[in-house]
Amino acid sequence: MAKQLECCVKNYHWGKEGSTSKVAQFAKAGSEEFTIEESQMYAELWMGTLATGPAVVKPKGILLPDYIAKNPSCLGKTILDGFNEALPFLFKVLSVNKSLSIQAHPNKKHAEELNRKFPDIYKDSNHKPEMALALTDFEGMCGFRPFSELQIYVKGVPELAIVLGEAAVESVISIDVNDEGAIKAALKQAFSFLMRQDSMVILEQVMTLVARLESHLPVDCIEEELMELIIRLNSQFPGDVGIFAAFFLNHMKLKPGEAMFLAANLPHAYLSGDCIECMATSDNVVRAGLTPKFKDVDTLVEMLDYTPRSKEDNLMSPSISVDDPCVRVFKPPVPDFAVHDIQIEAERSYVLSEEKSASIVIATEGQGDFSTIGKIGPGHVIFLPANESCSVKTSSNMVLYRALCLPQV
């Protein structure tokens, strides 16, 4: 039987303030006891079993991981066969008002190695692929941009050339854009040198560049959108090395309903907006800029995927469910999770289908009456066991997001 969940709220400095945060709005809808403090930053709503923020099954108050441990069959064959008796994904809502760190996540083998060597920093041995689906206009940086763009910036932005150094600059400028191996080597050399550059050199050149941009002095090769981003990042993290990373990484702007998949070793940073996020159950993050947290520069620069891609290459296209035209399926190339984006018209009876995997479902828009649960609206979260369906009668157009594991073909 479907169960309503009360989910864990995380307050981080980069979140949105008070009731402007969808995380706060959703948390209040999901818990009668939750009170929004308007001066507090609300960053993440965790819907899952991770030990540092497990959901609670209503109304009895049992932790979701304890409920699953007592009822392992609720996970279903897909999870039990591939992940033992544990939910393999963590579902989230994020509200971002300030840049998150320049970061990447290790693959499974690397995660095991980092956990073995540095258990106080990398606290589990799992990988952490992620997928972000925009609820509002959502902004981030993701993956290395096309190499020809970096070449233009290196030639035209003297501050960038100074922090990279002559050898890296020469390597970037002189390489044939059709030589993929040489491009990756040059990218690694330049980005590694940047991230390891003396902090005083970075500070001086950031201040020089920002002063130039704020004075509206001409910088022909920097488009207005990138100028605005550099100035904004500097206002949040003055003189930080991550500001120069904006020349290396794709500046992504997602419209509601668009998504991007963050594979292992892919450099990225969220910048602003609200999104649904789904990931493998892990908390492994390797950071190197735009953060007050621990930075592991050496690990990051050695692990990154230095393949340049376009913005479009980083977008993830959904498929329409063969069985249900209301469902857009976002299925990344990992077995840990997939997400259904479900759009239901008003005044309609609809059935959430039986699946071979347990699901977590959150309503983000509209109102409906769910069988066995009652009235559901934005922010309400449901745990749906495997091999069970759940019906809803909508009173307005409704949007649901459903995290689950799909059988591997």
Contact 126, 108 (CB under 8 A): yes
Q: Which residues of 77-90 are buried (b: 16+ CB within 10 A; e: fewer)?
A: ebbbeebeeebbbb
Please, is 153 exposed, middle or buried when counting C-beta atoms within 10 Å of its C-beta (0-12, 13-18, 19+)?
buried
- Helix or strand (DSSP H, E) at 66: helix 64-70
Which pair of tokens denotes residue 188?
């690694």
- Rounded Cα distance, 232 and 354, in Å: 46
Q: Which residues are catalytic?
A: 287
Instruction: Say how many residues make up the chain.
Output: 409
Contact 75, 357 (CB under 8 A): yes
- Rounded Cα distance, 246 and 4, in Å: 41
Which ranges of 105-223 does DSSP label H, i.e. alpha helix?
A: 108-117, 147-156, 158-164, 166-174, 180-196, 199-214
